[in-house]
Each structure stands twice: as C-alpha cells, then as structure tokens.
A and B are shown apart, each in its own frame.
Chain A
Amino acid sequence: MGPISSSFIFPEWLEMLAAFLIGTGFGFALEQGGFSSSRKLAGMFYGYDTTVLKVFFTAAIVALIGSQLMSYLGLLNLNQVYVNEFYVAASIVGGVIMGAGFIMGGFCPGTGICALSIGKIDAMIFVAGGLTGAFLFAESYPLIQDLANASYRGPVRINESLGLSSGLFTLIIVAAAALMFWIAELAEKRFARPDITAEI
C-alpha cells in the first residue's frame, strides 16, 4: 500500500538514499530525452524541435494514468500524495517570470542541473544564475510576501473544480495531448532546421 513513506517510517539515511536514487532516475531520463541541450529545449518555442513537449506531456500522462490505476487497484492512496497548493496570483506571475527565464536561458532548473552534469558550460552559468535568483528571492521576500501569499485556494484538484471525474478528465487530457503531438510533428516538418544534432 503506497506511498511507502506513509506506512513505514524511513530512517534518515534510507530516505536520503531514496531521494538520491529517484533523482538519479530523473536525471537519467532527462538526459536521455535530450533535455540536456538548450537548443533542443528552446526549439520548442520556434517549432523546429518539439522534444520538450513530447517528453513533458508523455511523462505527466504516464504518471497520471499510472497513479490512478494504482489507486483503483488499491496499491496507492492518492490522499497521501502531495497536491500542490494553489496560490492563484503567485502561480500565474511566477509562471510568467519562469517562461521569460526559460526562453532567455534555454533551461529550466531540472534540465539545467542535468546539462551541467555532462559538462555544458552554459548550464553551469544558468545554475549559478539560479542560485542568484533564489538568493534574490529570499532577500526580496518581505517586499513580495503579499503577492506570494495572495488568493490562496488550498490544494485543489482541477477535475474537482470542474465537476468531472478524474478518469474522464484524464481521458480529455490524453486526447488533447495526442492532438498536440500530431500538430507538433507537423510543425517540426514545417519549421524544419538543418539537423543540429551533430553540433549539440
């Protein structure tokens, strides 16, 4: 019965080891998917390489379907899985700032760290920028505290606010993603660039 952490108290070293191993899997999957290349990542926003879109949505959907199936089969208690807290203003403003950072730097924090590990110098600079960003946030926290905590909605699930069952909502998401994949592959042909794999 999962999550294991709810029925079994990990000793500290085991918890740290589990975190490390999950991180390893995370980094491995990111690197194999091509997320260690900023040009591949940024390519999504110009239509010439939609790898990000495909990997990102496939991953989210696999986890979404998998967790619900496991829940139905009695293997995973979804009440014990963390649901992100919804701070409306912070989510939107933060997301917009992140989008700007994404297109400037070509990485997101996870992919930046992953790219750093294979020796990308730009990724190292990106992560250094990230550390600076975290520091700036901490120092400026008193100024933006109000925005960060505004319009708190709690850990809400989107299907519940829409009044749909989670299964039905998942089906809609998957159908939308399938359509998106199809469009993405059309776009790749339309905005094709000379193959940059060799340069990466």
Chain B
Amino acid sequence: MKLLKQYWLVLLILLLTAAAVLARTFCHSIFKYDAGRMAKPSALKTNLITEEQLSSLKGAVLLLNLGETGISGDKHGNFTMKVNPDSILVPKYLDKIVSQKGPVILSCSENSVSARIWMVLTQLGIRNLFILTADQDPEILKKEFRPDTLSMPEL
C-alpha cells in the first residue's frame, strides 16, 4: 500500500501511455503503418498480376470485382466478391478481406480505381493484395514520339 501511495503518479502515467499505445496498435479503423514502407510493392511492381499468372495461382484466392466489367473468377474456381469501390470499407466486406488467408485480387476495368483501392487497403495493413492487369507492366509507354527536328524552340 505504501508503495502504491508513493508510486501512484508513475503508475498512472505508465498505464495511460500503455493504454494509448495498445489502442493504437490494435485499432483496425485507422492508418497506423509506415506509409512509405507499405507502399513499396507498388514501386517494385510486385503488386501486379496478369490473368495468366492468376490461373496458375494455387490456394484460396479472393477476387474482388470492383466494376461491371471485371472478370468473374468462377472459371478459376476462385471465390469472387462483387463490391462497389466506395463500399469496400464497409465491415461486411472489409472483414472478409482482412480474414482472407490467401491472396486478394483487385479486378476492375479501370486501373486508376484499382490503384486507389490498392493504396487505401494496403495502408490499412492488408498484405497479399494484387491488382489484376492486362499487361505485365502497364507503366510502359507503347507510343512512339516522332521528334520534329526542324522546329527550333524559343527558350
């Protein structure tokens, strides 16, 4: 008792800090991961997957169909979930994504939407999340530029 009386302030500060830290650590509805580190796969392009690679994936795959024209996973025997992009954080869907053991694949006809959803979900701590793309690397420019060697610009 005497000890408690002497150390009550120390204990109080410790408990409060521990509580705040624990609350932060176990809260799922806030961003708490290092943004740069989580985003790394997107710079390395290891978060992209083609249809070909998808069919060779083994194990339980969760396919998130984000639009009207996304592919259906039935032909690969995968589990497909159709989600409107703006309701992806609704607990009904999010819980499923969080509890998914195998890879989660984002499928959408628009890469821009997949990219945004990927970044949001990844920053929430979901790993093993891939974007289904038509190409191995859509970030390669296929257009050729024809320089005009006659024009001289005024700089």
Contacts and interface: CB of A to CB of B under 8 A. Distances in A.
B24 interface: yes
B17 A69 contact: yes
A61 to B, nearest CB: 14
A13 B32 CA distance: 35
Contacts of A136: none
B21 A74 contact: no
Nearest to B23: A73
Nearest to B25: A72
B127 to A, nearest CB: 21
Contacts of A73: 20-21, 24
A183 to B, nearest CB: 23
A69 B71 CA distance: 45
Interface residues of B, number: 6
A72 B17 contact: no
A86 to B, nearest CB: 23
A157 to B, nearest CB: 15
Interface string B17-42: 10011001000001010000000000
B24 A74 contact: yes
A63 B99 CA distance: 39
A74 B32 contact: yes
Interface in A57-95: 69, 72-74
A69 B25 CA distance: 12
A58 to B, nearest CB: 14
A4 to B, nearest CB: 20
A161 B32 CA distance: 25
Contacts of B20: 73
Nearest to B32: A74
Contacts of B32: 74
A99 to B, nearest CB: 35
A69 B22 CA distance: 12
A74 B32 CA distance: 8
A73 B32 CA distance: 8
A69 B32 CA distance: 13
Nearest to B21: A72
A69 B30 CA distance: 17
A69 B24 contact: no
Contacts of B21: 69, 72-73
A74 B31 CA distance: 9
Interface of A: 69, 72-74
10 contacts: A69-B17, A69-B21, A72-B21, A72-B24, A73-B20, A73-B21, A73-B24, A74-B24, A74-B30, A74-B32
Ranked 3 nearest A-B pairs via Cβ = A73-B24, A73-B20, A69-B17
Given A69-B17, A72-B21, A73-B20, 6 more contacts: A69-B21, A72-B24, A73-B21, A73-B24, A74-B24, A74-B30
